[in-house]
Amino acid sequence: MTDLSAYPRLEVVGKVTGDGKGYHGLLRFEGVALVDLLTKAGAVQDLNTAVVISAPDGYRSLLSMGELVLNPLGRRILIADRKEGKPIQADGRFKLVIPDDLSADRWVKSVSRIEVVNLHRKARASLISVGCADPDLLTQKALSALGKADVVVCTEDIKRRFGSYLGKRPILFDPFKFLMPEPIYGKELAKLSPEEKKALLDKKTAEALRMIREELRQGKNVALLEYGDPFIYGSLRHIAAGLGAEEKEFIPGLSAFNAANALIGKELACQGGSIVLSTAWTLKDNPGLLKAAAEKGDTLAFFMGLKELPGLVETLGKHYPPTTPLYIAYRVGFADSERLVKTTLDQALKVTFDEKEKFLGMIYVGPCLDTQSLDRHPG
C-alpha cells in the first residue's frame, strides 16, 4: 500500500486519549475507510473473520469484521495519511485511526500490513470418551466437545444410553458393525486367518476414514464416541491413527480401570511398587514381565480377561503363591449392578464358576490387595 488517492476520501475528528501521555485533544484525520480498502482488495465480509493491522515494530491491533460492517461507526475507522491537514510523516505514512474508541490504545501509528484472518475453527473429528458406564461419568469437557458435534460415530449401546446428549444428530456409522461385519467374537470372523482379518480391518478402516473426511470437508464436526480410555485397547484406535494431527482432537475420560480402583478402595501400588496394565493373552506371551512383577509384589490389572480367567489363573500360578489375593470388579461404573468379588488365586475359578458376566470386568492380582485401607465394598 503506497497511495490512497484512488479511493473515496473521508475526514474524521477523534478525541485522542492514551498513548501513555493522557489527553491529546481533538485531532482531525483524513484518509480512506478501512472497510473500503478491504472491499477493493476482495476481502469477504465474513463475520467469522477479523482484521489485524500491524506496525513495523510488531505492534498489532485487532478489529472484528462485525464492528467494521455492522456498526454504523465502522465506516469512520480510517487508514489515515493526513493529520490536521498535513501529510503524516513523523511515524510513517499511514496511521490506523479508530475515532470512536474511548482511548487510542488500538490505534497504529505506522501501518505496514493489513491481514484478514479466519477465526472459525476448522472442522475436526473429536475422539471423545463417554466414560466406562453410566452417563453421569461423562466429563464436562466431553459434554462441551459433544455439543460442538454435527455428526456422530457410535455404537448402538452408546446411542441408546446417551441419546439425551446426542439429540437429533445423525449417526454416521456404528464402528462395531461397520469395521467388523460379524461381531467381534462372531463365528464367521473366527474362521478368518490373521492376515484376512487385518486385510478386512484395513479395508473397512479406509472406508470409515473416507466417510469422516467427507463430513469434515463439508465443515461438519464429527464426534467419535468411545468407551473408557480411547487409548487403552480402544475400538477406534485404527481410525484415530489414520487421521492427521490437524484433523483430530482427543477428549479424555474415565476408564474401567479408574472406576474399578474406586470400587476396590485400596492403595494398589503399596510399598512403592508398580501397577501393570495388560490383557490375559498378552501377558501370557511375556513371562519375563510376569516373573518380575511377581518378584516385586507389583499389582496386575487385566482388561477383557473374564473369558480368559482359567488360562490366566494357570499362567499366574507359575509365579504367584496360591493364596495371592485376586479381585474381580464386575460392571464398574454401573451404579445398579457394579460389584466386587474378593478371592484368591487358587479359589478364583471355584468362586466364579456360576458367574454369567463374561465381558464387563477388571481382574486384579497381587499382594497389595491384602493391605488394610478404605475397604468399603465387602466381597
Task: Give a yes or no: residue 272 inside a domain.
Answer: yes
Contacts of 43 (CB under 8 A, 6+ apart): 49, 116
Q: What share of the chain is helix, strand, coil (3-state, %, to 5)?
A: 30, 25, 40
Residue 311, domain CATH = 3.30.950.10
Domain boundary among 118, 143, 158: 118
Task: Give a yes or no: residue 243 inside a domain.
Answer: yes
Examine the domain organization and report whether 80 and 173 are in the same domain: no
Which cell is 109 given? 501509528
Which cell is 240 given? 484415530
Give the strand order in the sheet containing 60-64: 60-64, 49-54, 113-118
Distances (CA, A) of 377 to 171, 257, 265, 327: 39, 16, 8, 12
Examine the domain organization and report whether 328 and 359 are in the same domain: yes
Examine the domain organization and report whether 109 and 131 are in the same domain: no
DSSP letter string over 251-277?
E----HHHHHHHHHTS-SSGGG--EEE
Q: Kindly state the DSSP code that residue 123 receives in the 8-state scheme.
A: P
Examine the domain organization and report whether 90 and 136 are in the same domain: no
Task: Give a yes or no: residue 5 inside a domain.
Answer: no
Write a three-state SS string for 202-215: HHHHHHHHHHHHHH
Q: Smallest Cα–Cα separation from 69: which of 103, 104, 38, 109?
A: 38
Task: Give a yes or no: residue 73 inside a domain.
Answer: yes
Examine the domain organization and report whether 38 and 84 are in the same domain: yes
Distances (CA, A) of 193 to 40, 140, 200: 64, 42, 11
Range of the domain at 85: 10-118
Examine the domain organization and report whether 236 and 131 are in the same domain: yes
> Helix or strand or coil: residue 338?
coil
Q: Smallest Cα–Cα separation from 363: which of 323, 303, 314?
A: 303
Examine the domain organization and report whether 131 and 248 are in the same domain: yes
Give the phi and the psi of residue 220 in degrees, each rounded to 5: -100, 135
Per-residue pLDDT tens digits of the chain, which is 379 residues long: 677 888 999 999 988 877 666 777 889 999 999 999 999 999 888 888 999 999 999 999 999 999 999 999 999 999 999 999 999 887 778 999 999 988 888 999 999 999 999 887 889 999 999 999 999 999 999 999 999 999 999 999 999 999 999 999 999 999 988 876 554 445 566 777 889 888 888 999 999 999 999 999 999 999 999 999 998 988 899 999 999 999 999 999 999 999 999 999 988 988 778 999 999 888 888 889 999 999 999 999 999 999 999 999 999 999 999 999 999 999 999 999 999 999 999 999 999 999 999 999 999 999 999 865 433 333 4
Task: Give a yes or no: residue 2 inside a domain.
Answer: no
Examine the domain organization and report whether 270 and 225 are in the same domain: no
